[in-house]
Chain A
Amino acid sequence: MSTATTTKSLNDADLSLEAPKTEDLAALLVSRERPPRPSALSASITFGWRAMLKIKHVPEQLFDVTAFPIMMVLMYTYLFGGALAGSTEEYIQFLLPGILTMSVVMITMYTGVAVNTDITKGVFDRFRTLPIWRPAPMVGYLLGDVIRYLLASLVMLTVGMIIGYRPDGGIGGVLLGVLVLLVFAFSFSWVWTMFGLLLRSEKSVMGVSMMVIFPLTFLSNVFVDPKTMPGWLQAFVNNSPVTHVATAVRDLMAGEWPAADIAWSLGWSALFVVIFGSLTMRLYNRK
């Protein structure tokens, strides 16, 4: 009997027969008081919470931060390990921090796709009519993405440990390495928020992302020491932000203190935020 009642009322809701109660509504409208506007931080965190809710409702979107990184670690370790370092155990000590950097930097490109699909929906218009700190929706995306990057890092480190990675830096070194990587990934993501706003379709965002991400991540010291590369390539590789970040992460996890590479990584991060952050906000305000 009670089951029948529940089913019935659910069906009613399905048919939207539940009518609005205009008297209750009138009572709710009486108050004209408005709370003070939220701080920039609080608004950004609220948007980050939105990203978490979306993960909760659409957990499939975690595929790219779980399955993909596992594949990267296993594939490159067993593909190159024997040839490049004599054994996979040897190679993974060198490769894991690099492949971690590469994978997380690659995953950042989904930010652009997310921004692009979101702006085609009406909810974006609502956000833009709110009296809040303007970059908050964008920062919110990136905060949500930082959680994804963290998850990817955790997954890769776990898989790495299982197949023989032994970081000399211990927990402290590993955490510092991940921190540098997250700061860089957060900053670098502003490139994608810009493309997400600039380009018309999700497909074109993907296309441009691939064009940027493949050369940027492969032309680095992630897989091999650049010494055997031709001079012109070394010039590029040694100055690439990905190389600096990969080196910083690798050395930190190995228990060293790569001051120069940390400084370069943070410098590049600041540059990305300043340039692409302001371009993003320009596009956002004009859209």
Chain B
Amino acid sequence: MSTELAIETKGLVKVFGENRAVDGVDLSVPTGTVYGVLGPNGAGKTTTVKMLATLLRPDGGEARVFGKDVLKEADAVRSRVSLTGQYASVDEDLTGRENLLLLGRLLGHGKAAAKTRAAQLLEAFGLSEAADRQVKNYSGGMRRRIDIAASILNTPDLLFLDEPTTGLDPRSRNQVWDIIRAVVAQGTTVLLTTQYLDEADQLASRIAVIDHGKVIAEGTKGELKSSVGSGAVHLRLRDAHQRPEAERVLAAALGVEVLLDADPLALTARVNAQGSEQSAAEQAAKALAELARTGITVDNFALGQPSLDEVFLALTDKKGAA
């Protein structure tokens, strides 16, 4: 296996009783990028991360981090990675500063060096004011920040971020995103798991979509999006009687199946820009013009990105059909 990859797994398997939580996952994560692992709850994202971070033993397949086997060379892996879990991976009874001092000492820093580093990190993460309060009294966003600060006491070569923004308010989420961007800009590879397409979209350069323990799609953001269609057009008509006609016109203009919503006035169509010279917006505009020409009045119109639901439905549909 190549050592240029930050992570390489082949047929990784983890079984809990009857449940094959991770069922043959192959990943190749190049160094210096944010790699997104996207999937719903229980898809096997956390289990995969735990195996890669040497916390769980794989039941099958192999996994290497910077060319080192996670089982046989666990210590070599541990010295280059950091993990920020879904829940705060710091001691909630201790203060923010004490947590950083503790971990600094455990990473081999002397007392003075650990103190300096802790103070610098607290400052950079905007936690100086809260440094001497117990972490259990921190807000969700502050916890997440102290958690990430603890992960970069020594700049890791690979940082695992397991759903770092789940449960955060938009402002805190943006702060975490800024931190992740800063970390990657300095050359650290980040493996980011998330349930939000938006988040993967914002941060990741490559994305693997996981469901039921399997990778069901993998590629750059562009590849992934175009594979499920570039977006969805939502239409609302003025007159319900015109819907069958509108459905026919849309299907002809876009070349896709049109879905009829429960609302008798609404229709939805997936716009696919893959292999087309026209962008999704251009196609949608053309379809609208076509509707207007036929005398159908459209009251309301929206072109949205595919939601995570749509990505999943599309991917699982495709897999089922193949």
Chain A: residues with CB nearer than 8 A to chain B? 9-10, 12-22, 24-32, 34-38, 42-43, 46-47, 49-50, 53-54, 57-58, 121-123, 125-132, 136, 286
Contacts and interface: CB of A to CB of B under 8 A. Distances in A.
Interface string B94-114: 110010001101111110010
A34 B79 contact: yes
B288 interface: no
Interface centre among B88, B127, B152, B182 (most CB of A within 10 A): B182
Given A24-B120, A50-B91, A38 B106 contact: yes
A280 to B, nearest CB: 17
Contacts of B154: 34-35
Contacts of A36: 108
B135 to A, nearest CB: 9
Interface residues of B, number: 66
Nearest to A26: B182
A221 to B, nearest CB: 39
B108 A34 contact: yes
Nearest to B139: A16
Contacts of B105: 38, 42, 46, 49
A50 B79 CA distance: 22
Interface in B155-190: 155, 157, 171-172, 175, 178-179, 181-183, 185-186, 188
A14 B172 CA distance: 13
Interface of B: 50, 53-55, 57, 75, 78-79, 81-83, 85-95, 98, 102-103, 105-110, 113, 117, 120-121, 123-130, 134, 138-142, 145, 150, 152, 154-155, 157, 171-172, 175, 178-179, 181-183, 185-186, 188
A121 B136 CA distance: 12
7 contacts: A16-B145, A20-B179, A27-B124, A29-B188, A57-B95, A121-B87, A126-B85
B88 A21 contact: no
B129 A30 contact: no
A18 B110 CA distance: 29
Q: Is the interface of A mostly helix, strand, loop or mixed?
A: helix
B90 A20 contact: no
B186 A30 contact: yes
A262 B83 CA distance: 46
Contacts of B125: 20-21, 25
Contacts of B91: 50, 54, 121, 123
A10 B85 CA distance: 28
B129 to A, nearest CB: 4
Contacts of A32: 155, 157
Contacts of B171: 16-17
B145 A20 contact: yes
B90 A122 contact: yes
Contacts of B108: 34-38
A122 B88 contact: yes
Contacts of B110: 35
Interface centre among B108, B130, B181 (most CB of A within 10 A): B108
A28 B98 contact: no
Contacts of A28: 117, 120-121, 124, 152, 155
Contacts of B175: 19-20
A74 B87 CA distance: 45
A125 B150 CA distance: 13
Contacts of A122: 85-90
Given A28-B121, A29-B155, A129 B54 contact: yes
Contacts of B139: 14-16
Nearest to B178: A22
Contacts of B83: 125-126, 129
Contacts of B81: 129
Given A20-B126, A32-B155, A128-B54, A53 B94 contact: yes
Interface centre among B85, B91, B121 (most CB of A within 10 A): B91
Nearest to A50: B102
Contact of A131 (B79, B120, B138, B145): B79
A43 B124 contact: no
B89 A22 contact: no
Given A34-B79, A130-B106, 10 more contacts: A13-B129, A14-B139, A18-B129, A21-B125, A21-B126, A122-B88, A126-B90, A128-B54, A129-B53, A131-B107
